Amino acid sequence: MITKRLALTFTLAAFAGMLPAVFAAPDRQGFSIDMKTLNEPRPLKVYVLKVDLEFPGIEIAAAIADDPDGDGPAESFLMEPGALAKTAKLEIAVNAAPWSMVPATPPGEIPQYPEGGHCDILGLAIEDGKELSPRTPSAWSLWQDPQGLWHLGPVPDHASPKQAVSGFGPLVSEGNLVTNQNNVLHPRTAVGIDERGKQLILVVVDGRQPGLSEGMSEHELAELMKSLGCWNALNLDGGGSSILIQNANHRTPKIINSPSGGKMRPVPVLIGLRSVKE
């Protein structure tokens, strides 16, 4: 008998070839956004943004809210994702780095994430050469070197990234799954790069919505990223922060996924796609 756990593994292994394109094909404008609905072993809605890193006229960039208090304890503040995307002129964006509130939420209280709230970004955060949060030794980041090449992994001490965002930890390392088996289901956001370093893959999984999309475990997310061709992959912030928006640089951005809270949660860091002049 095939267990539900194995059934999901088999489903994800075939996932990459089953996604219908929602927008233009990658060979026409350098990216595609695909959506797939799965029914087994639970309802799931998964969104995949694939970007050709060598396609002219587009680039990947971070959007990071400024330091609100100078020498104070905060590094950034929470912004509505559409407003934050406009600061970096991102056309398509997903949430990126996790954070902690400043001041910290008292024990026993439910964390609140108000727009404008001060926060401490966890891990390296750099937008167009401006560092808002320092690197953590050995921690993984998605980062761009001065030559414009993108990497996933620890940032060398001597490196001076142009762009960088961090996450909770690796999902796939050199083609191998590096997560533990678990059954904790949440909305998820992840980023991966293929073995040649030519394609960037961003994934958002809806969750906490019974009957619509109930979320994935971290290990299932790793399996999905590998099935999509990721040689390395990083688990970004998830939960109520998981968001995929298009026309992010416009007055009314389009929310592509279904956030678990019913609306976009304010966040301090995004990663996404923007147009550049050739």
The pLDDT tens digits for 95-145 are 999 999 999 999 999 999 999 999 999 999 999 999 999 999 889 999 999
Q: Where are the domains of the chain?
A: 46-105+113-275
Res 210: pLDDT: 96
Whole-number Å distance between alpha carbons of 231 and 191:
11
Res 23: pLDDT: 38
pLDDT(24) > 60:
no
Span of 16-20, 48-52, 154-158, 161-165 with lowest mean pLDDT? 16-20
CB 118 within 8 A of CB 101: yes
Whole-number Å distance between alpha carbons of 16 and 73:
43
The residue to which tokens 């301090």 are assigned: 268
Whole-number Å distance between alpha carbons of 109 and 41:
34
